[in-house]
């Protein structure tokens, strides 16, 4: 067998090429949006994709696994978190084969064309009626194990989102703990998430906190406007906005539970633009102020007073006003956009325009992909030249 000599520099060079890889994350950047569809008058999924690409919103969460939606996101460069609704938890927790089939049918079948980056197992399961609490952990484990067996666990993150109903004594932030009736479910769930590297997902609404505590909370503090803020007497930390305080309350509860290194991600936050007579804070002006200032806050890519190195990431709620949502009028009016795709108020996004103009625009994903291709081409050309040289 003929042997040949390879220059040591070339071996080092090839090792460098081999080490180049793309790290898959469930959240790119700091800003995302929830795509709720409890409405009968909103844009089609294909039109929503056009709207989101024009707005350059890359991270998207849905609350189910609707195939029409998943297909619409195929080849778009947008990154999707699909949801397993609460009513599916019982079956998913009881049967590992069921979980495997669900993952195959609703996640694996659409990869890699649709960039499914996460699965949200239930929504706000704990802290309420306990109807589904006992099923959550096993559902999470079965879905994760199915992903792992399919060699997808490195690419698709498993999480579940919590409301603030899981906390007790959330102000000042350092006093926050998990409620006694939640701990029995929360502790083993956090242990598993710690093992697989999943974050703690929190739905945090300064709007709701203000509505329930108008006499105690300055609305400017809730809207990211200039204010005296609030001080935590234990940590001596100062807070100039309510969302940061809500996030740090979660970090405090996690630390006391033994999970101080776990990241907190905001999976829902927003402000209603219209409400009932007793919801005076639900105005278009306040909603614009909150969401505009939230974008500015996230764009700074900084942490909170208690966790300054953990960059805050948030999904705003939501794309649309949803006319079929039950409850108070405010519940129907969290959308940044009206059902026809026009803006609810101006925070820098453009409304939907029915045209093919967006097809000529390269998404950030496509530009980066092109850049990587060019970089690899250059590297391989240099490597070939080195082989000939040495």
- The conformation of residue 124, written as its DSSP 8-state character, comes to S
> Is 263 annotated as catalytic?
no
Cα 315 to the chain's mean position, in Å?
5
Residue 120: closest CA among 164, 62, 203: 62
Categorise residue 176: left if φ over 0, alpha if ψ from -120 to 50, beta otherwise: beta
DSSP secondary structure string for all residues of 358-372: GGGSPPHHHHHHHHH
Q: Which of 47, 79, 124, 191 is catalytic?
A: 124
Crossing angle of helices 8-19 and 364-389, rounded to 10°: 170
End-to-end C-alpha distance for the chain, whole angstroms: 20
> Is 268 annotated as catalytic?
yes
Residue 223: closest CA among 317, 132, 289, 136: 289
Q: Which of 216, 228, 268, 279 is catalytic?
A: 268
54 with 80: CB under 8 angstroms? no
* Cis amide prior to 295 (ω within 30 degrees): no
**Tally of helices (H runs) and strands (E runs) in the chain:** 12, 12
Enzyme catalytic residues:
124, 268
């Amino acid at each position: 067998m003929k042997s040949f000599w390879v220059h040591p520099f070339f071996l080092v060079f090839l090792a460098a090429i081999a080490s180049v890889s793309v790290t898959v994350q469930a959240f790119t950047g700091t800003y995302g949006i929830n795509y709720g569809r409890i409405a009968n008058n909103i844009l089609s999924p294909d039109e929503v994709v056009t709207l989101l690409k024009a707005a350059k919103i890359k991270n998207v969460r849905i609350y189910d696994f609707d195939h029409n939606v998943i297909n619409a996101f195929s080849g778009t460069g947008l990154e999707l978190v699909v949801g397993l609704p609460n009513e599916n938890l019982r079956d998913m927790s009881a049967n590992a084969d069921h979980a495997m089939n669900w993952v195959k049918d609703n996640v694996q079948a659409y990869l890699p064309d649709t960039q499914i980056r996460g699965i949200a197992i239930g929504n706000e399961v704990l802290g309420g009626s306990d109807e589904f609490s006992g099923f959550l952990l096993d559902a999470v484990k079965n879905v994760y194990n199915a992903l792992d067996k399919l060699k997808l666990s490195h690419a698709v993150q498993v999480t579940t989102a919590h409301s603030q109903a899981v906390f007790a004594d959330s102000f000042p932030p350092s006093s926050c703990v998990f409620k006694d009736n939640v701990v029995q479910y929360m502790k083993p769930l956090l242990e598993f998430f710690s093992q697989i590297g999943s974050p703690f997902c929190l739905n945090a609404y300064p709007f709701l906190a203000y509505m329930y505590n108008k006499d105690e909370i300055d609305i400017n503090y809730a809207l990211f406007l200039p204010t005296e803020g609030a001080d935590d007497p234990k940590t001596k930390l100062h807070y100039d906005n309510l969302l940061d305080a809500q996030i740090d309350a979660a970090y405090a509860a996690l630390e006391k539970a033994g999970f101080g290194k776990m990241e907190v991600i905001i999976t829902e936050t927003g402000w209603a633009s219209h409400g009932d007579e007793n919801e005076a804070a639900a105005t278009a002006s306040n909603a614009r102020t909150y969401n505009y200032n939230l974008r500015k806050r996230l764009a700074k890519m900084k942490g909170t007073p208690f966790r300054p190195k953990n960059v805050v990431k948030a999904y705003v709620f939501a794309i649309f006003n949803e006319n079929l949502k039950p409850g108070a009028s405010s519940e129907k009016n969290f959308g940044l956009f009206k059902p026809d795709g026009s803006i609810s108020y101006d925070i820098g996004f453009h409304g939907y325009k029915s045209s093919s103009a967006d097809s000529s625009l390269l998404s950030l994903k496509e530009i980066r992909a092109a850049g990587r291709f060019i970089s690899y081409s250059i590297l391989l050309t240099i490597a070939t030249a080195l082989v000939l040289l040495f």
